[in-house]
Amino acid sequence: MLSAQCAFVRGAKRVIMVDKVPFRLRFAKEKVDSRIETVDISNGEKGEAKVLELCKNEPAGAPDCVIEAVGFHYCNSALHRFEMAVGAETDSPEALNSALFAVKKCGRVAAIGAYAGLANHFNIGTMMMKSVTIATGPVFVQRYWKKLLEMVKNKELNPSVIITHHMSLTEAPKAYQKFNDKEVGVVKVVLHPTKVA
C-alpha cells in the first residue's frame, strides 16, 4: 500500500494493486488512495492476466513497472507448498513469476518482497526473452530516511494511513499472529514499549 502511495508521489499515472485478501484491497482504495485500481485474486484467478486485461489499451499493453511486494509468503500451488515443506526450496517464486508475466517487454520489476534463500521454477526464460530489468534488495534506511522524513513532514507521504492497531510490546506475538493470519481489519500494528491506554 505504501508502494502505491510512493508510486503516485513519483508520478505514476496508474497504480493497480493485486491481492487475494479482499479487505486489503478495499482498505487501500478507501484509506490509502482512491485512485488505486484493484484486482481481487481471492478466487484463484491469475493476477497477471487481469492486470494485462486492464492495461490492454496502454501503449505497451502492459505496465511499465511492476512492484512485487509479497515475496516467499505468497505460495499458492501445492507443488511449492510441498517443496517448501520438505526443504527443497525456501522461497516460492510465484509472485515474482507473476510480475515477470505482467510487465511490458523491456519493463522493470522491483522485487521488494521478503526472500530468504532458494526458489525453484523461477521463470528466468521470461525475464530474458522480455528483456526485463529486475531490481531487488532491502531498503537502504540510512540512505533514504532523511528524504522520506521530509516528505512525511511536508505531507507528501502519509505512512500512518495503514496503521490499524496499537498494541503493547508485550502483545507482540499476538500482533504478529493477527498479521500473519491476515485477520480482517488488520493491516499494520504499531507496538508500544509501554502499555497502550
Neighbouring C-beta atoms of residue 183, cutoff 10 Å: 14
List, for residues 41-71, the tens digit of each pLDDT value: 999 889 999 999 999 999 999 999 999 998 8
Q: Quick check: 197 pLDDT over 60?
A: no
Distances 119 to 8, 14, 17, 71, 131 between C-alpha atoms, Å: 31, 31, 24, 11, 21
How does residue 29 score in pLDDT terms, banded at 50, 70 and 90? very high
How does residue 196 score in pLDDT terms, banded at 50, 70 and 90? low
* CB neighbour list of residue 69: distance below 8 Å, 6 or more residues apart: 3, 112, 113
> What one-character-per-residue DSSP string does 12-68 give?
-S--EEEES-HHHHHHIIIII-TT-EEEE-TTS--HHHHHHHHTTTSTTSS-SEEEE
* Percent of the chain residues topping a pLDDT of 90: 80
Summary mean pLDDT of the chain:
92
- Crossing angle (nearest 10°) for helices 94-102 and 47-54: 20
How does residue 139 score in pLDDT terms, banded at 50, 70 and 90? confident
- Kindly indicate whether the domain formed by 2-140 is annotated with CATH number 3.40.50.300: no
Distances 101 to 49, 67, 88 between C-alpha atoms, Å: 8, 12, 24
pLDDT at 57: 95
pLDDT at 195: 66
Tell me the mean pLDDT in the region 147-159: 95
* Percent of the chain residues topping a pLDDT of 70: 98
Residue 163: strand pairing partners: 188
Q: How far apart are the first and last CA of the chain?
A: 28
110 vs 89: CA distance, rounded Å: 22
Residue 190: strand pairing partners: 166
Tell me the mean pLDDT in the region 155-184: 91
- Number of Cα atoms under 13 Å in the Cβ half of residue 92: 19
Tell me the mean pLDDT in the region 124-133: 96
What are the backbone dihedrals phi and psi of residue 71, each rounded to the nearest 5 degrees, phi first? 80, -155
How does residue 181 score in pLDDT terms, banded at 50, 70 and 90? confident
List, for residues 58-110, the tens digit of each pLDDT value: 999 999 999 999 888 778 889 998 998 999 999 999 999 999 999 999 999 99
pLDDT at 194: 81
195 vs 131, which has greater pLDDT? 131
Could you state, in order of their start, the residue ranges of all structural domains in the chain? Answer: 2-140, 158-192
Closest of 100, 102, 91, 92 to residue 17, by C-alpha:
102
Instruction: Write out the E strands in the chain.
Output: 16-19, 37-40, 65-68, 108-111, 133-136, 163-168, 188-192
